[in-house]
């Protein structure tokens, strides 16, 4: 590709005037244009591509022209016959059909007569710069009419929002599964505590006969479930913390520039332990109440 030559045809060479129809029409005979020496001779002098360590490309595919050529072409377009004719007419000088002011403005831009850009692309260096740019544009648009406001598209925010929606959806599914697991676990803890009550019926009767009150019996089983919840919470948090090391290692080996993605904040540690204690305590309330309400005489008679 390096050194390949081609031409850029200017408006005066590309659009020919028809005296009979009083309009301009394009000259699509590119072979004759090339043989007549029309246009500006260009050659490819380089190829731009994304660096090997680059995350994404910011340029569109295609040929990129030197700024000096762009300025020269726009100047030639403004002084061209079709450009001057279109500036003085409210109809299309190509089709001779009436045009709205917006269509005339679009036609002038497409010819290069009106150099007003239809869009400007801004590439911030980081998210802080992007935020500063969007805030500046929002402040600029505050006191302007709708037709004068700058309409912008924050691609980074769109991608971030889409990613956040996907992550939120996955999080909701995981929360649902976790909630189901917690409910099942709570039911199992309640069943196990109730089985413990049945197996310790004589012990309950003996404690009651020695003067233990109903709330004392209830406290015994509530204390046991609380200890179970505390132990389970500590073991679960310890396992989660140990798993962050292999997870971070695997992610770092697969994706560059991402370290310590899996973390366990200290707030989460205490929160998870408290939740574990509360769930086991709540699950053991009914079995503890059943144990407290047992008749000591009946309990001592059970073999």
103-128, pLDDT tens digit by residue?
888 889 888 888 887 788 888 888 88
- Looking at 29-33, 78-82, 268-272, which range is the least confident one? 29-33
Tokens of 182: 């917690």
CA distance 135 to 142: 11
At 119-173, the pLDDT tens digits run 888 888 888 888 899 899 999 998 888 878 888 888 878 877 788 788 888 888 9
Predicted pLDDT of residue 196: 83
What is the average pLDDT across 12-17?
A: 89
Do residues 187 and 282 touch, judged by C-beta distance below 8 A?
no
pLDDT above 60 for 302: no
pLDDT at 231: 92
- Of the candidates 290, 89, 67, 70, the one whose C-alpha atom is nearest the C-alpha of residue 199 is 290
> How sure is the predictor about 257, in pLDDT bands with cuts at 50, 70 and 90?
low
Note the pLDDT of residue 54: 67
Confidence of residue 286 (pLDDT cuts 50, 70, 90): confident
Residue 235 clears pLDDT 90, i.e. is over it: yes
CB 288 within 8 A of CB 218: yes
Q: Sort strands 40-43 and 15-18 into parallel, antiparallel or unpaired.
A: unpaired
Categorize the per-residue pLDDT at 300 as very low, low, confident or very high, splitting at 50, 70 and 90: low
pLDDT in tens, 27-79: 888 888 777 777 888 899 998 887 777 666 666 778 888 889 988 989 999 89
Mean pLDDT in residue range 6-23: 88
Which range, of 88-92, 214-218, 293-297, averages the lowest pLDDT? Answer: 293-297
- Work out the number of other CB atoms within 10 angstroms of the CB of residue 134: 16
pLDDT of residue 56: 64
Return the pLDDT at 258: 67
């Amino acid at each position: 590709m390096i050194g390949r030559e081609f031409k850029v045809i200017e408006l005066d060479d590309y659009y020919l005037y028809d005296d009979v129809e009083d309009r301009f029409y394009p000259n699509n005979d590119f072979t004759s244009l090339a043989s007549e020496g029309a246009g500006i001779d260009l050659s490819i002098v380089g190829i731009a591509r994304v660096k090997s360590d680059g995350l994404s490309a910011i340029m569109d595919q295609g040929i990129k022209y030197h700024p000096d050529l762009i300025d020269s072409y726009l100047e030639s377009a403004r002084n061209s016959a079709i450009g001057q004719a279109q500036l003085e007419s409210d109809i299309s000088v190509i089709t001779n059909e009436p045009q709205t002011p917006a269509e005339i403005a679009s036609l002038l831009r497409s010819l290069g007569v009106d150099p007003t850009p239809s869009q400007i692309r801004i590439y911030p260096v980081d998210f802080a710069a992007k935020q500063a740019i969007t805030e500046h544009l929002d402040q600029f648009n505050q006191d302007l009419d709708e037709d004068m406001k700058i309409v912008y598209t924050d691609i980074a925010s769109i991608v971030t929002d889409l990613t956040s929606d996907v992550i939120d959806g996955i999080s909701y599914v995981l929360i649902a599964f976790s909630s189901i697991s917690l409910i099942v676990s709570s039911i199992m803890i309640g069943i196990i505590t109730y089985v413990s009550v049945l197996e310790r019926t004589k012990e309950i009767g003996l404690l009651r006969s020695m003067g233990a009150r109903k709330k004392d019996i209830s406290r015994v089983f509530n204390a046991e479930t609380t200890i179970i919840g505390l132990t389970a919470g500590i073991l679960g948090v310890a396992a989660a913390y140990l798993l962050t090391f292999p997870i971070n290692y695997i992610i770092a080996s697969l994706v560059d520039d991402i370290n310590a993605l899996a973390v366990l904040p200290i707030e989460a540690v205490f929160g998870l332990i408290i939740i574990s204690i509360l769930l086991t305590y709540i699950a053991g309330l009914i079995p503890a109440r059943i144990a407290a309400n047992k008749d000591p005489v009946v309990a001592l008679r059970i073999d």
